[in-house]
Amino acid sequence: GAKEAGRNAFRFFTPAMNLAAQDRLRLEGELRRSMDLGELMLYFQPILATNERRVVGCEALLRWCHPTRNIVPPGQFISLAEETGLIIPIGEWVLRQSCYQARRWLDQGYDLHISVNISTRQFREQDFRQVVESVLSESGLPPQSLVLEITESLVLEETEQLMEDLKLLTAKGLRFSVDDFGTGYSSLSYLRRFPAKMLKIERSFLQEVVHRRDDAALVEAMISLAHKLNMTVVAEGVETLAQWDFLKECDCDFMQGFYFSRPLPVTQMDAFLADHFKETPPNPEKGST
Ligand code: C2E
Ligand code: MG
Ligand code: MG
Ligand code: MG
């Protein structure tokens, strides 16, 4: 009967495929519930001015504190969230939390911008602009303090409505940033059409920059290109002093990376701000402030 047919259908799957499919399905169910269970959390990674090591902003990075899988990094669930559409409510939650947190820092005297990653799918939602505008007004965060990070794949399906919404948001003072610049296949045409004010150089370009002349030339060229387009440049993935020195030489505006700080939970970010918000000398003496 039906049971028999079901069992036959089952045989088309190899045990490994079946396990992967089951695992995915379980993960999807868990992700669906994660928001209600309060398992999603934001970490914040400081963004610093290259010439003086001063904190100018931070990037909100999503973490899933799973009860049995510990902390799941976004690389393991963002694409699932995108495929299932869960990124829409999750992304709105991220945006709201980020704006409220940035507002709190502003109230404490820390004038930072907050960078929020936006998935292409979120961005294409009909009411994207309205969501951003209402989150800004609810939280009281000035639009100038919000940066939306978008990756290059977006350009493929831009519509007139989308470009219109972008212009309206930009007119309010909000900034867009092109994330992971240099890795897509349409980087330059993207810059021509997209009204971005910031450009983030993908960290793979930084990795060998001190040893490889070609990488150094590419990074220098990206920075000067961005500056000619009146964009602010952020280097991501700064892990060494030598990389920082190189970025200073090339007049890179901002930087972010493990050399300065990993992404931090909010209380640790508070402590980092207390130590680093003001310009600090290269080797600050303990207790000098
Ligand atoms: P991204 O937006 O390019 O974020 C930067 C990633 O580089 C973060 O990984 C950060 O921890 C890592 N990173 C920063 N500095 C260094 C460094 O010096 N060395 C190394 N090795 N890595 C560094 P994370 O947090 O695992 O996030 C990965 C990606 O997941 C993000 O890349 C972003 O594309 C996505 N993501 C994170 N949070 C969100 C979110 O709230 N919404 C959406 N749509 N995507 C998100
Ligand atoms: Mg980003
Ligand atoms: Mg990036
Ligand atoms: Mg990335």
Give yes or no for residue 88 CB within 6 A of ligand 1: no
pTM of the predicted protein model = 0.90
- What is the Å distance from ligand 1's center to 61 Cα? 6
129, 135, 140, 146: CA torsion to nearest 10: -60
Ligand 1, atom 10: nearest CA belongs to which residue?
263
Identify which of 74, 60, 70 has the alpha carbon closest to the alpha carbon of residue 115: 60
How far apart CA 46 and CA 224 sit, in angstroms, is 24
| pLDDT at residue number 1 | 43
Give yes or no for residue 119 CB within 6 A of ligand 1: yes
Collapsed DSSP state (helix, strand, coil) of residue 234:
strand
- What is the Å distance from ligand 1's center to 73 Cα? 9
| pLDDT at residue number 285 | 47
| pLDDT at residue number 131 | 97
Query: Could you tell me where the DSSP H helices lie in the chain?
Result: 2-10, 15-34, 78-84, 87-107, 120-123, 128-139, 160-171, 187-193, 203-207, 213-228, 241-249, 266-276
Residue ranges of the chain with pLDDT lower than 50? 1-6, 8, 279-281, 284-289
- What is the Å distance from ligand 3's center to 149 Cα? 8
Nearest ligand 1 atom to alpha carbon 149? 2
| pLDDT at residue number 11 | 52
Give yes or no for residue 75 CB within 6 A of ligand 1: yes
| pLDDT at residue number 277 | 76
Give yes or no for residue 263 CB within 6 A of ligand 1: yes
| pLDDT at residue number 288 | 40
| pLDDT at residue number 2 | 45
Q: What are phi and psi of 248, to 5 degrees?
A: -60, -45
| pLDDT at residue number 162 | 83
Q: Are 238 and 256 in contact (CB under 8 A)?
A: yes
32-44 exposure pattern, b = at least 16 Cβ within 10 A, e = fewer? eebeeeebbebbb
